[in-house]
């Protein structure tokens, strides 16, 4: 027969300042997301136009890829309320 000894480790406290740093980092990320988010309702239309221009560049060399890009542009416009 063998004996098993189990010891439970004491819970570790977070390092001092960790909660403050986590909250500051989350607030910074939220601020960056607000600054970089497109504010214009026309943004999906402009983004789709850029993708369509890219698709036109690939029409001769890779028509399948160009078709995928055009479909993605249409889907982007429809899911983001542009159509």
Summarize pLDDT for 5-29 with one digit per residue, the tens.
888 887 777 788 888 899 999 999 9
Between 81 and 2, the more confident residue is 2
Which residues, in sequence order, are CB contacts of 69 under 8 Å at separation 6+?
51, 52, 54, 55, 58
Helix (H, G, I), strand (E, B) or coil at 15: coil
Average pLDDT of the chain is 86
Model pTM? Answer: 0.51
Cα(53)–Cα(18) distance, integer angstroms:
47
- Give the pLDDT band (50/70/90) at residue 82: low
């Amino acid at each position: 027969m063998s004996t098993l000894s189990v010891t439970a480790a004491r819970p570790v406290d977070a390092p001092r300042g960790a909660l403050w740093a986590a909250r500051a980092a989350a607030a910074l990320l939220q601020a960056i997301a607000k600054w970089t988010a497109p504010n214009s309702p026309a943004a999906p239309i402009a983004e789709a136009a850029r993708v369509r221009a890219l698709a036109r560049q690939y029409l001769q060399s890779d028509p399948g890829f160009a078709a995928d890009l055009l479909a993605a542009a249409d889907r982007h416009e429809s899911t983001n309320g542009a159509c």
